[in-house]
Structure 1
Amino acid sequence: MSDPLARAALVAYRLAGALAYPLLGPYVGYRVSRGKEDSGRRRERYGYASVARPETGPLVWVHAASVGESVAVAPLVRAIAADGINVVITTGTMTSARLVDERLSDCAVHQYVPLDLKPSVGRFLDHWRPDVAIVAESEIWPMTLLELARRRIPQVLVNGRLSDRSFKRWKSAPWMAEALLEKLAHVVAQSEVDGERFRLLGAHAVTVAGNLKADSLPPPCVAEELADLRQAFGNRPRWAALSTHAGEEELVASAHKRIAERHPGLLTILVPRHAERGDAIEKLLTDAGLVVARRSRGEVPDHTTDIFLGDTTGEMGLYLRLTEIAFLGKSLAGEGGQNPLEAAMLGTAVLSGRYVQNFRDSYQRLLKNGGARIVRDGDALSAHVEQLLDEPKTLHRMADAAGETVEEMRGALSRTMQALQPFLHPLKLSIGLEQRGQAAWRR
């Protein structure tokens, strides 16, 4: 690292972390009180492991920040573990921890990611002693990068992406971007656009493999709960607005009223991105004269219900299976959009606003194949939903095209594993040598 600005900024970051470290106890405690941290495992955030490291064999550390990243890397974790390599996977949220436990507990150990402070990261690395670190999408933490580099542990970014906003922010401090990205041994990007952005910011080795989410499993659900809700819904016409952000619920409420004029008995499934907004959204809807049933209270819609409010976390698989039409939020009143692949792989016609910068490549493919449509405002949203309810053949063509698009996008896992071979192959060789040595010792 030759740039004096980068050196000074990173020294300041380290000093700020050292000063803040004694104050983190109350901060983490506050998060525990808000239900954002696991009270029984809070020490993991300081780098204290809650389980022992495997006694033998190499180990790969995989980090996935939240649910989306955890879903994306799940097949990758399973593929690495299938070669006999130990895996510890870290996440930062309780929801993603539950997902990892459900999908990967048979092949990986889960821990909460340590805070990006030298003592926490140091404790974590001292205990787990990873041979390779793999990070998903865009999780770049300065102290973790520096500490891994100091210990000469190769670091690989997989499923890498840079949103327009992130790219602009990094470009404003190119000296810092290069100082950090040069620590990465390899970047495996989602798209050509992402790959070029990483190269421009200073990453040395970049390949493009596609989006790992296309190779992931659809989000799960509890079959009994799905059957119960389908029975309660009956044959009512319905659609869903998923992962909505502030400002979009008003548009959904207005759309429901317009569509219900021509489709009596309409049921709208509304799932906010942040479940804790449930009370405020319920008030907004009831003030608009709509009858609401809330999933968080265990309420089941009846014939009087207008809106089924899915104010829970970790149940997107349930909500997606209850509809054939899904509007994905953070795209009309917010910016960036939401991942459309989970909806597409479950055969759902996708609607979205035009602000989908974070998932540009996926939407371009879906739009090209006819599996998604862009709506400009609330009026257009209601018009498209009405058309799809009126024209089942059009709806099913869209749903089929969405599923076919996901099939076309598959293959990112094998390409990513190929890019990882220079880092994983020596670990597999060491396992073979260790096994032969143990066999010779027993003889």
Structure 2
Amino acid sequence: MQRRPTAPSRSSVLQPRPKGELLWVHATTPERYLALCDIGRRLKSLRPDLSVLASWEPGLRLTGTVGCDIPIGPLPDDTATEARDFLNHWQPDACIWTGTPSRRVMLKQLRERKTGVLLADLLENEVPNRASRWLPDQRKRLLDGLTCILTPSKAVQARLIRAGFPAGRVELAAKLRVSAIPPGCNDDELASMQQVLGSRPVWLAAHAKLSELPQILETHRAALRLLHRLLLVIALDDPQDLDAAAKLLQDSGLPFADWENGGEPEDLCQVLLTSGEDLGLWYRLSPVALIASSLDPAAQGQSPLDAAALGSALLHGPGIHAHRELYERLAKAGAAQPVRAQTDMADAVVALSAPDKAAEMALAGWQSVTESAATTDKLLDKVQALLDQREDTNAGT
């Protein structure tokens, strides 16, 4: 009898494994996916030959997000054959998982291969109850396959220790979130501009698209009726639009200066035009920042992390689809405010010109985007140690 051909396992039809080290990350929420890929990018700056393989739970929507090197989607079934084929194909050197460690077969094979697995951001609702298979009888063997568990919950920590996981390998850490590495600026230039601006109110349109400038300028006109010394800094998303933007400003009648050609915001200047290359400077100087490229409802938008980390109260339009989770987190913290219409934007700019209100929002934003920095640093150190250990082991074989 002729044997019926079997379908190839999922791992056998994936793209080839890249050369060099491979970090495998597994996400259970969009925010965790962003955070894990961010950790991967930071590691790549330290280890140039590193690649980041990303998998995630079925049904997770990651449309528009900035991802990892090799996004493969949901994992194959947790069978011995699928797990073996997957690991033979990708040969990860280290892993960061999030969520419930429910893949018993995969974890067993990783343990047998002596591949380090870090379980990050384990929450109370992700620890299986005693009726589950992995805690009562097999919990010790499964837990032993994890190099370390990070959790923001003391209750989870205590429960894991009672389940047999060594106390030295379960650590408290803040929730896993994307953290910012904000752009720097020239300190002398910052001090000089602080002196030039003095107490003058400033708002910034960061990542502004040429098509958004008419609406932004009309917003500025409306705000100027109540704040006569208000300065608008326009940081263009595309430097090639500088000439067209300057022409538009000339036609608007608003006095402006071209920063790229040596112009400075003198007393009568109402708009300062820049290419966007000095956003680290303008975020530090602007209590209020509109994260532009978001006024079109269909736009993907830009990340708000840098602005929040550098102390700006945030405004944004509806087009934030690529970073929606970040904006929702900042809005929940009281650090970001959506504006749906031109009048909304003008009212918000005027309201946030009050230093106490802008400072309150800016502090909330800074706290939100920096609260997970220690967790990120801890994971970076632990992955580095696992990769170094793997390198030493491979060198000795």
Given the two structures, how large is their TM-score scaled by the length of structure 2? 0.60
Residue 394 (structure 1) aligns with = 357
Structure 1: stretches of 5+ with no match in the other structure = 11-57, 63-68, 82-86, 89-129, 135-154, 168-173, 176-181, 193-204, 435-443
- Tell me the alpha carbon deviations over residues 321-365 of structure 1, each in whole angstroms, 9 at most, x when there is no partner: 111110101211251221111111112111111221211221121
Q: Residue 335 of structure 1 aligns to a residue in which SS?
A: coil
Residue 113 (structure 2) aligns with = none
Residue 227 (structure 1) aligns with = 191
Residue 286 (structure 2) aligns with = 323
Whole-angstrom distance in 2 between the partners of 1:184 and 1:382: 53
Cα gap change, 1:60 to 1:300, in 2 (>3 Å): farther
**Per-residue deviation, 1:408:** 2.5
Residue 81 of structure 2 is aligned to residue 163 of structure 1: no
Whole-angstrom distance in 2 between the partners of 1:75 and 1:244: 27
2:258 to 294, 297, 300: 294
Residue 409 (structure 1) aligns with = 372
- Tell me the alpha carbon deviations over residues 123-145 of structure 1, each in whole angstroms, 9 at most, x when there is no partner: xxxxxxx5x423xxxxxxxxxxx
Amino acid across the alignment from 2:62 = L
Q: Residue 427 of structure 1 aligns to a residue in which SS?
A: helix
Residue 333 of structure 2 is aligned to residue 369 of structure 1: yes
Whole-angstrom distance in 1 between the partners of 2:98 and 2:321: 13
**Per-residue deviation, 1:207:** 7.6
**Contact persistence 1:218–1:317 (CA under 8 A):** yes
Amino acid across the alignment from 2:321 = Q
Residue 43 of structure 2 is aligned to residue 76 of structure 1: yes
**Contact persistence 1:347–1:402 (CA under 8 A):** yes
Cα gap change, 1:385 to 1:208, in 2 (>3 Å): farther
Show the 5 A alignment for 1:325-364.
Answer: 325-333=288-296, 335-364=299-328
**Contact persistence 2:290–2:315 (CA under 8 A):** yes
Q: Residue 272 of structure 2 aligns to a residue in which SS?
A: strand
Amino acid across the alignment from 2:370 = E
**Contact persistence 1:243–1:329 (CA under 8 A):** yes
**Per-residue deviation, 1:213:** 4.9
**Contact persistence 2:219–2:343 (CA under 8 A):** yes
**Per-residue deviation, 1:77:** 4.6
Cα gap change, 1:312 to 1:376, in 2 (>3 Å): closer
Amino acid across the alignment from 1:408 = E
**Per-residue deviation, 1:232:** 2.2
**Per-residue deviation, 1:161:** 9.1
**Contact persistence 2:239–2:276 (CA under 8 A):** yes
Whole-angstrom distance in 2 between the partners of 1:74 and 1:272: 25
Amino acid across the alignment from 1:394 = K
- Tell me the alpha carbon deviations over residues 162-205 of structure 1, each in whole angstroms, 9 at most, x when there is no partner: 335899xxxxxx99xxxxxx77667989998xxxxxxxxxxxx9
Residue 214 of structure 2 is aligned to residue 247 of structure 1: no
**Per-residue deviation, 1:157:** 8.1
**Per-residue deviation, 1:222:** 0.6
**Contact persistence 1:133–1:156 (CA under 8 A):** no
- Tell me the alpha carbon deviations over residues 215-268 of structure 1, each in whole angstroms, 9 at most, x when there is no partner: x43210011111222222232211101011232211110011000111112110
Show the 5 A alignment for 1:181-192.
Answer: none
**Contact persistence 1:293–1:308 (CA under 8 A):** yes
The structure whose Rg is larger is 2
Cα gap change, 1:71 to 1:243, in 2 (>3 Å): farther
**Contact persistence 1:156–1:185 (CA under 8 A):** no
**Per-residue deviation, 1:61:** 8.6
Whole-angstrom distance in 1 between the partners of 2:178 and 2:96: 13
**Per-residue deviation, 1:419:** 6.3
Q: CA RMSD in A?
A: 4.6
Show the 5 A alignment for 1:143-162.
Answer: 155=53, 162=62
**Per-residue deviation, 1:370:** 0.4
Q: Residue 367 of structure 2 aligns to a residue in which SS?
A: helix
**Per-residue deviation, 1:381:** 0.9
Given the two structures, how large is their TM-score scaled by the length of structure 1? 0.54
Q: Identity percentage over the alignment?
A: 24
Give the paired residue count.
290
Whole-angstrom distance in 2 between the partners of 1:338 and 1:310: 17
Whole-angstrom distance in 1 between the partners of 2:40 and 2:192: 31
Structure 2: stretches of 5+ with no match in the other structure = 1-5, 24-35, 68-72, 75-85, 100-116, 122-174
Whole-angstrom distance in 2 between the partners of 1:208 and 1:412: 10
Whole-angstrom distance in 1 between the partners of 2:64 and 2:207: 20
Amino acid across the alignment from 2:280 = G
**Contact persistence 1:331–1:338 (CA under 8 A):** yes
**Contact persistence 2:255–2:268 (CA under 8 A):** yes
Cα gap change, 1:264 to 1:166, in 2 (>3 Å): closer
- Tell me the alpha carbon deviations over residues 374-432 of structure 1, each in whole angstroms, 9 at most, x when there is no partner: 1112211111010111x32221111111111113333234346656776553114456x
**Contact persistence 1:271–1:311 (CA under 8 A):** yes
**Contact persistence 2:335–2:361 (CA under 8 A):** yes
Residue 128 (structure 2) aligns with = none
